[in-house]
Amino acid sequence: MEQVIILGSGCAGLSAAVYAARAGLSPLVIEGAMPGGLITTTSEVENFPGFPDGIDGVSLVMNMRAQAEKFGARFESDVVERVELSAETKKLFASSGKIFECRALIVATGASPKLTGVKGEKELLGGNGVSTCATCDGAFFRGRSVAVIGGGDAACEEASFLTRFAAKVYLVHRRDKFRAAEIMVRRVSENPKIELVLSSVPEEMLADENGRARALRVRSVATGETRDLDVQGIFVAIGHAPNTAFLAGALPLEADGTISALRDASGVRTEIPGVYVAGDCADRLYRQAVIAAGTGARAALEAQRFLEA
């Protein structure tokens, strides 16, 4: 039986692995369906402390993994599909057929951005012009034209943020009214850099001869007519889905799927002793790599205290 198992190998899980390993707990990290997490789709990370010239997402998580392994963390390429957490020994049932057991569990399974599914999106995602994080990638489009797809607070926030860099921002929403808060709608409506493209849905994301985004084709839901927006960046902001479906019935989940943490000083404990959460699977507000890493460290420290009690 393991002392600590960490589910997820993104910034939260790897940070937890570093701290747990340094505490001599020899943690086992079960990597999940997307080893390295969502940040591996980011071509360059400029806002993670310690890298003044930036670092690509894959290199960042590989560095963190090497650091965790240096202190004794171990890695298993598998996906947990079901858990039993009510007993003192936690049981994890993986897709490989293996059953893992542990005394303490850190859930750091992250969240997956919702995508539009339109033609060209998959090919342009991750360094070719399509992004799900304006904070991560906005600065790469300085002086250029971009589009944001979405109609909630996140989409309005991303559109406003992108005006710091982009010369022009199209905000594309399928309805004629936004779901965002009134103050957010006012900001985007009054910003001269933002053009609202309402009652329109994305039809196709077009690439140039180098395989990078050159336009977003949108279709009017009222007339059916299409229009090509000449953009070099396309930001999809239609929400995130926490990777927590496998926990239903085993851990309390919020309506949006995020894991409910106790409202205490740690911010990472759940109602089940010995079970902790870290990163985007429990974060509905920030979803930033450095914050995920911080919660991973917290979770590991809490797990250490639990095991030493």
Catalytic residue among 11, 102, 133, 281: 133
Whether residue 281 lies in the annotated active site:
no
Distance CA 237, CA 224 (A): 23
What does the alpha-carbon distance between residue 146 and residue 215 come to, in Å, rounded to a whole number? 9
Q: Which of 11, 78, 102, 136 is catalytic?
A: 136
Does 136 participate in catalysis according to the annotation? yes
C-alpha distance from residue 296 to each of 157, 253, 258, 281, 282 (Å):
26, 19, 16, 11, 11
169: Cβ contacts below 8 Å, ≥ 6 apart: 145, 146, 147, 148, 159, 162, 163, 191, 193, 194, 195
Pairing of strands 168-172, 145-149: parallel
The verdict on whether 133 is a catalytic residue reads yes
Q: Please enumerate in sequence order all residues whose Cβ is within 8 A of that of 265, keeping only pairs 6 or more positions apart, or say none.
A: none
Catalytic choice (78, 137, 280, 283): 137
Active site residues: 133, 136-137
